[in-house]
Structure 1
């Protein structure tokens, strides 16, 4: 007999107080006392966020009478034994304007299921039904709904009844409600839609044209024969704000926040930097439809939402996605090769600026994402490396190595396709107990199987080690020149990250081994004067460094808390942290062919005479 569905009802009960009202009904509760819990984290964002702290009131009822409800820990409760049905009613405070949580006011409402839907422990595989109720506030009378939750009576874009196969599916379809503009297009055999919330002047036709090209390029990578997306419908939920950036992937949608200035406007020439950044974000999250949502590390096949789920493979699942997101812009024709090289230069530069790459490997960074990458402090540049950015460069090195060793006949694309065929294509079609993913030590063998190339030592050195990557040599074989220079052309640096705070020039971070470190300066110190001259801002310091030069002895006065200290600081030459990439006009025929194949996604096989 099929399990009775877990039923939810959610309503924006008080937009001005930012409260969602939720009702949950469990037809057949555990006779020993039903436990319910809210997830402590959301898949795709690897940090314990303790969403249950936003539940401001909760009560239980059965048989028309109030039932005792005992809180067990930070995010779970247990109801007193009852025959059922058991109903819980609670309020959720929603004032997190991000892609991870829930937000509600008179302009719109947004939530991820992890923020609002309690899970019936022991009944996670039961089907779920959700009634999305319209707010009764007069300012919200014209609200609509944007979600990929399957309709169960509701009309698309409307309030009403929706369904999900189980709890995991329920929390993987975020909901946007309010006033939004819609853009739609067909791509890769699927309906694609964009819902833009917030004031904007976006050119919908330009956006649809460019996203269509990106989506089709990605589908062609994973399935060259069918060129179809793994969904029938996909939704980009975009919130346009004055200043913001972020995205979170879901199985048939993505939640995005962007600067409204980064959206394309009518008559906009070319592809400006801000718009490239937005398209790269869309490309990144869409790539996750395959890589992370269906192709997973084995540790994520059946994750525990109550506690951290560790893996050393985020450099593959996030890093490879970060490699392909910009590459797909080039392969789709949305940006030209020079623009792509500019984007790649930025990724290389971001890694060069972080001395933490010598202290932590990308595999270690992956494992420590929960406690270090997502909880950075003033010493993070010295201590950690980004598994996104350096992971993308490891992917680049692997891709170029495979292409060079096989004369363009194989590439990292073949590895992605093998993972898709083995674990991703049928992931949601299989019963939960039969799903699989990439084992922690399985990648070297998988790469060799897909390409015929053995790169075990390189994978060990690049992913488990902290040495420099052979970027210049590999790029040179593909007709690209790499040059690195200091961030400041004048060449003098104090080895500290600076920011204006409370009208003072403050060290936000001090880099290990640099002049500021040697002088004794620390994060939080506010520099007030150098050689007796007031430092009103960073420009003043830069001008002084240009005049004094490398090796000068500078007398620095700085406040540490409320105490004034004096330091002697000797600027040094800036280390190369800015990468410059360019196509080598002297590249040979083989390099030019490999370059063309890499940027186009073709096999690059030489033609037979």
Structure 2
């Protein structure tokens, strides 16, 4: 009797929504998902259905529709022809009034990343952009989703992890490990809650009124108690940084552990993460090893996005157009500022000491200053060109582009230091972020953040004229004088060569016991001699070169020395005379020069954090 009532409630719920979906992993060994989309009263002119071309948070046209293996439509049990009108859009013919139209697609899901969908006999993971057809013209309609378990006894222990809200009337017992009905207020919400199905490890912790969960898929030996304790400290600091209450009542870290990978993608109440299983903490682990620190930094980055990009949005993202690129020149703020705060949060919540954070910051400075492209492309241009350049790097990218993540983090640092020094510690970037939240995030401002809004807010709060700062840092290509900005904080910035050996001005990759030039830097010794990216390095002065011997060979020479280099270019053996250059001073160190400094204490630890400074 109880089961019948549950089925009756489910049936009523499905009928109450005008757009309904059902998804089931259908052929797991073949990486297939079957997805049904049903719409009541379809467009009288012929209903259109489209799959997104990209996923918010990853700014590249990915053409998810290319993974649709088959697609068909039906109405009242009869076949309905579909016409494909572009690469990701299908149109049905006009139907009788009151009809319900269903489109059934089979999706190939073999993308083991945070951006797509992956199905095999061990689990199923998908983002909505990869599987849920958009009912054109009904994007604002409420949606119901029926998540189905794969057929077979071997899948009886599978369960669901997602932050999609459960449909009304669906009790925990009825949901059978999470399978059943879920709801979304509209299509944008529907695609902003990734789903994991399988036999994952699940742990949870509450903080600041928010239920947090971690679901780990894949073989691992994670000390879950240690992980959740560290994440609790991190999440609590971020929630209190922006101010309670948090914008979500529940948050989920979806972690896929594999042999070697690293990446994350933010969502409104969850994040999809992929990592090497060695990145996770293990029982008996002491301290915070570099790999685990990197994973916590990834979690921190995606969690900070809950505020900065998911709710505080640039104007171009106020309403996503999922068919084409959505250009903005502000990614330096939304990704760069988040990159600045991701590890600063680890410091301020007490997970890492100040010296370790300063070492990480120095490595970011190294990364930016080793790329000649920083002197050619502005941060605003890098943001705008993300769709065509950042996600499609080639051998010449370091010469032509700058990372809006890394240099954006340095601009955040520079702005923070400028505000604190210029106001004697009264105003900081923390205040700017909170003002952005109160004006553009918490009120769900649909206008989004304009190109000049960050500068205007910073000027309003501080009383400083920052027009020249933004012109140089964001719209210019000159290096930021970090040494000058750090001096009032009792921090000394020291530059030195990363190697004593003279420089060829190249980046290499090992191919077995051979070396290939992957990048030849503009203005370097190799480029001046005529060497090119993709050349296979064979010998120097008649001696064979291996990945282990190149540095030793260079170390026996001085800047200005000439030697002969033999390379294979395609299948042709060529020789070049190279004049070695002095090693670049591209290694940075940040050293605490004074024992006590109030400005530094406020910067490193924040106003609410105790410090050992």
**Structure 1 and Structure 2 fold alike (TM over 0.5):** yes
Which residue of 255, 263, 283 corresponds with 1:266? 283
> What residue is the counterpart of 1:78 in the other structure?
91
Which residue of 127, 130, 134 corresponds with 1:115? 130
- Compute the displacement of 1:87 (Å): 0.4
Once residues 297 and 170 of structure 1 are traced to their aligned partners in structure 2, the CA distance between those partners, rounded to angstroms, is 21
The residue correspondences of 1:448-597 to structure 2 (distance < 5 A) are 448-488=459-499, 490-501=500-511, 503-537=513-547, 539-584=548-593, 586=594, 592-597=597-602
The farther-off stretch of 74-83 and 378-387 is 74-83
Q: 1:337 to 1:509 in 2, by over 3 A?
A: same
Any conservation in 2 of the 1:415–1:451 contact (CA below 8 Å)? no
> What residue is the counterpart of 1:435 in the other structure?
446
Once residues 18 and 138 of structure 1 are traced to their aligned partners in structure 2, the CA distance between those partners, rounded to angstroms, is 19
SS in structure 2 at match of 1:372: coil
Once residues 441 and 598 of structure 1 are traced to their aligned partners in structure 2, the CA distance between those partners, rounded to angstroms, is 25
The farther-off stretch of 295-304 and 475-484 is 475-484
- Compute the displacement of 1:503 (Å): 4.2
> What residue is the counterpart of 1:194 in the other structure?
214
1:444 aligns with 2:464: no
The residue correspondences of 1:1-12 to structure 2 (distance < 5 A) are 4-12=17-25
> What residue is the counterpart of 2:223 in the other structure?
203
Give a deviation string over 1:116-151, Cα, whole Å, max 9, x none: 000000000000000000011444331111000001
Once residues 187 and 277 of structure 2 are traced to their aligned partners in structure 1, the CA distance between those partners, rounded to angstroms, is 34
> What residue is the counterpart of 2:603 in the other structure?
598
Any conservation in 2 of the 1:447–1:454 contact (CA below 8 Å)? no
Give a deviation string over 1:465-500, Cα, whole Å, max 9, x none: 000111111112111111122221x14110010111
The farther-off stretch of 395-404 and 152-161 is 152-161
> What residue is the counterpart of 2:241 in the other structure?
221
Once residues 286 and 454 of structure 1 are traced to their aligned partners in structure 2, the CA distance between those partners, rounded to angstroms, is 32
Any conservation in 1 of the 2:501–2:554 contact (CA below 8 Å)? no
Give a deviation string over 1:184-228, Cα, whole Å, max 9, x none: 1111220111001111111111111111111111112111xx3x3
Any conservation in 1 of the 2:502–2:557 contact (CA below 8 Å)? no
Which residue of 18, 21, 24 corresponds with 2:37? 24
Once residues 475 and 107 of structure 1 are traced to their aligned partners in structure 2, the CA distance between those partners, rounded to angstroms, is 51
> What residue is the counterpart of 1:54 in the other structure?
67
Question: Structure 2: where are the runs of 5+ without partners?
Answer: 1-14
Any conservation in 2 of the 1:330–1:337 contact (CA below 8 Å)? yes
With the length of structure 1 as denominator, give the TM-score of the two structures.
0.95
Once residues 354 and 595 of structure 1 are traced to their aligned partners in structure 2, the CA distance between those partners, rounded to angstroms, is 29
Once residues 282 and 4 of structure 1 are traced to their aligned partners in structure 2, the CA distance between those partners, rounded to angstroms, is 35
1:257 aligns with 2:268: no
Which residue of 156, 161, 165 corresponds with 1:150? 165
Any conservation in 1 of the 2:501–2:557 contact (CA below 8 Å)? no
Any conservation in 2 of the 1:154–1:162 contact (CA below 8 Å)? no
SS in structure 1 at match of 2:181: strand
Once residues 258 and 551 of structure 2 are traced to their aligned partners in structure 1, the CA distance between those partners, rounded to angstroms, is 33
Which residue of 92, 103, 106 corresponds with 2:107? 92
Q: 1:364 to 1:154 in 2, by over 3 A?
A: farther
> What residue is the counterpart of 2:252 in the other structure?
235
With the length of structure 2 as denominator, give the TM-score of the two structures.
0.94
Once residues 403 and 16 of structure 2 are traced to their aligned partners in structure 1, the CA distance between those partners, rounded to angstroms, is 44
- Compute the displacement of 1:579 (Å): 1.4
Question: Structure 1: where are the runs of 5+ without partners?
Answer: 428-433, 605-609
Any conservation in 2 of the 1:297–1:439 contact (CA below 8 Å)? yes
Which residue of 134, 148, 156 corresponds with 1:133? 148
> What residue is the counterpart of 1:343 in the other structure?
360
SS in structure 2 at match of 1:284: helix
SS in structure 1 at match of 2:389: helix
Once residues 219 and 583 of structure 1 are traced to their aligned partners in structure 2, the CA distance between those partners, rounded to angstroms, is 29
Give a deviation string over 1:361-400, Cα, whole Å, max 9, x none: 1110000000011111100000000000000000000001
- Compute the displacement of 1:98 (Å): 0.4
> What residue is the counterpart of 1:161 in the other structure?
181
Which residue of 420, 434, 456 corresponds with 1:403? 420
Any conservation in 2 of the 1:410–1:451 contact (CA below 8 Å)? yes
> What residue is the counterpart of 1:431 in the other structure?
none
Once residues 240 and 347 of structure 1 are traced to their aligned partners in structure 2, the CA distance between those partners, rounded to angstroms, is 26
- Compute the displacement of 1:154 (Å): 6.2
Any conservation in 1 of the 2:35–2:107 contact (CA below 8 Å)? yes
SS in structure 1 at match of 2:539: strand
Q: Count matched residues.
A: 588
Once residues 598 and 172 of structure 1 are traced to their aligned partners in structure 2, the CA distance between those partners, rounded to angstroms, is 34
- Compute the displacement of 1:416 (Å): 0.6
Alignment root-mean-square deviation, CA: 1.4
Once residues 240 and 363 of structure 2 are traced to their aligned partners in structure 1, the CA distance between those partners, rounded to angstroms, is 26
- Compute the displacement of 1:426 (Å): 2.7
Which residue of 390, 410, 431 corresponds with 1:414? 431
- Compute the displacement of 1:72 (Å): 0.6
The residue correspondences of 1:255-404 to structure 2 (distance < 5 A) are 255-404=272-421
SS in structure 1 at match of 2:450: coil
Any conservation in 1 of the 2:111–2:117 contact (CA below 8 Å)? yes
